Chains A and B, each alone.
Chain A
Amino acid sequence: MNDHARFERRRRILYAWMLLSPALILLSRFAFIPTATTLWASLFSRGTRRNPSEFVGAGNYADLFADPTFAKVAVNNLIYAGVTIPVSIVIALAMALWANSRIAGRGFVRTAYFTPTMLPMIAAANIWLFFYTPGLGVLDQIGALFGFGSVNWLGRPETALWAVIIVTIWKEAGFFMIFYLAALQTIPPDLKEAADIEGTSRWTYTRRVVLPLLMPTTIFVAVNALINSVKLIDHLFILTKGGPSDASKLVLYYIWELAFAFFDRPQAAALTVMVLVVLGIVAAIKFTILDRRTHYQ
């Protein structure tokens, strides 16, 4: 009997590992092992035929901190994340609240809001490239109606990053709206009625009931927006290629440049590791502090 229980226990453990193995193998091969090799590679110098690669410890990291482009790129990415995340969340929430209310043509509104999400980022970037084109672009044509001169939105250091930011927000807000819309539909309508009977204004109801109940969605969306602010750089290739003079260069684009344009793999690895550390810290904060203060149904 006791033997049987032990056997049963072992069988369950084996079963668990068998069920875990497909995901484990794939994640190991394509995520964990590359992460480890990246970390390893970031500790060695760039090898040439004359100087073979050697262990330099934190040398690559020190070089990065001394690199003015790195500072520029990091600041750019902070501005980029700091603007795109809150703005796209606020717009997504506003659109969801509107598309969820009882209005005529609600289906059309929802579809219209969702359209940018369905486009590939490259296609969206091409559309915006046309909008931004000096002289011919839609923006300039509208500007001309009001007597403004032509502006090279993507070609000037002062406006390039902001032009990229606007494309990102345009692309992401509709996507996040879908999550908010789904979450709004899980809020039972009688909560609104209970609040109405107590004389709650629409704003108070939104602030005290709707927003707290949307908190899990907001966290999910914020994490996604943060990840996208680091990884979604397709439009840079079309719009600005990081220029002019690094004004719109983001971290991942710089990593790509280091690795595949300048062929400085160790430097790129070191930058990758730093990005992973920052994202890891954010994830830890999300799972500990924010989750504890959020109501999950």
Chain B
Amino acid sequence: MTTPAEAPFVSVEGITKAWNGQLGVRGISLEIPRGAFVALLGPSGCGKSTTLRLIAGLETPDRGTIRIDGRDVTAAPASSRGLSMVFQSYALFPHLDVAENVLFGLKVRRVPKAEQRVKLQQALEMTGLTGLERRKPGAISGGQRQRVALARAIVAGHPLCLMDEPLSNLDAKLRHSVRRDIKKLQRDLAITVIYVTHDQTEAMSMADMVVLMKDGEIEQAGRPVDLYEQPASTFVAGFVGSPPMALIDAHHLPEVARVAGTEPVFGIRPEHLWLAETGKGRIRGVITHCEYMGSETFLSFEAAGTHGLTVRLPGEVRKAVGEVAELSFDLSHLHMFDKSTGYRMASSRPKTAHPERSHQPYPTEEMT
């Protein structure tokens, strides 16, 4: 590795791509360090797949530059970028068997037969496909097909692997185990992975860095913990976390002081809420849903001036839908957003107007 460690491995600067006036992505800039696992997260149509395809070289950006390993590859064809890709559909060749599918690229590049054999064995072992070499994609299960796609991506030994929603065609149980396999594979091979998903659980559990996108732009990029604990906007707050953060209008929390001239909206995570005795809570609401999950129960509330109010309680909670209950929380757990723009407000934690009810003062944190 000739580049200094701090230089980004993949760097995207101000790329824009539009189709017939419809924007795919606009002005995306991103720096990805070597060996990182980056998740491009967002709802459908947010431009995450477009970003991936631009990096892959399957699309050409209208503006901006893409660098991989210090080399400007903006106009380079996909094959010269030194990367591999796992497609959502897996894109396996249906007429070729597993071994031929995995070796397709090596054969095209006329890698010596002996080397092909060694690499095939390694790739099949790593993905647990040994013994299926002669099967056609139509004759193996969905999970195995997915692993063939992975094996094909790693066999060439490219340092960068792009994955476009690779788990979306698997059932929930399999998805969980493949998630770990992919993560382990990435760590063992020390490759850089850019992973597109719409599932925030996948992004949070696998990635070193999550890039949350919305309407063709990056809403927030950072470590999973940054997105969870310091959401940059109400959109991030609502997208990350399951169930997502509840939003409460400021005038329903009169005890919280407002910065002059701004109209804030507050956010609170389900785990920071608790049921309070009657008369002692901060919010009164009607229970609309009760979801028992085994180790915990989620109670959803409907209350004036709130959106998506949910509380997470341990174990089983015996509450009936339609019952009125009061909720309380620690003011230090509130997140403050600008109501008009949705962005997080600079003084990230609200100050309390009632010192006697406040708990430990929250250490002021700088936005990352």
Contact = CB atoms under 8 A, between A and B. Distances in A.
Interface of A: 188, 190-191, 193-200, 204, 208-209, 212-213, 215, 295, 297
Interface residues of B, number: 24
B269 to A, nearest CB: 39
Given A196-B78, A197-B78, A198-B104, A191 B58 contact: no
A92 to B, nearest CB: 21
Given A213-B95, A295-B95, A295-B136, A197 B89 contact: no
B343 interface: no
25 contacts: A190-B87, A190-B89, A190-B91, A193-B78, A193-B85, A193-B91, A194-B87, A194-B91, A194-B104, A195-B108, A196-B57, A196-B78, A197-B56, A197-B83, A198-B156, A199-B78, A199-B80, A199-B105, A199-B109, A200-B79, A200-B104, A208-B104, A209-B95, A212-B95, A215-B95
A198 B95 contact: no
Contacts of B91: 188, 190-191, 193-194
B94 A198 contact: no
B89 A198 contact: no
A236 to B, nearest CB: 40
B362 interface: no
A196 B79 contact: yes
A197 B155 CA distance: 13
Contacts of A213: 94-95
Contacts of A191: 91, 93
Contacts of B56: 197
Given A190-B87, A193-B87, A295-B136, A198 B93 contact: no
A295 B58 CA distance: 28
Given A199-B79, A199-B105, 15 more contacts: A193-B78, A193-B85, A193-B91, A194-B87, A194-B93, A194-B104, A194-B152, A196-B57, A197-B83, A198-B108, A198-B109, A198-B156, A199-B77, A199-B78, A295-B94
B84 interface: yes
Nearest to B101: A194
A196 B95 contact: no
A204 B83 CA distance: 20
Q: Which of A191, A194, A208, A297 has the largest count of B CB atoms less than 10 A from its CB?
A: A194
A213 B109 CA distance: 22
Nearest to A191: B91
Contact of B105 (A198, A209, A297): A198
Contacts of A215: 95
Nearest to A294: B95
Contacts of B84: 197
B120 to A, nearest CB: 15
Interface in B100-116: 104-105, 108-109
A297 B94 contact: yes
Interface in B126-184: 136, 138, 152, 156
Contacts of A194: 85, 87, 91, 93, 104, 152
Contacts of B104: 194-195, 198, 200, 208
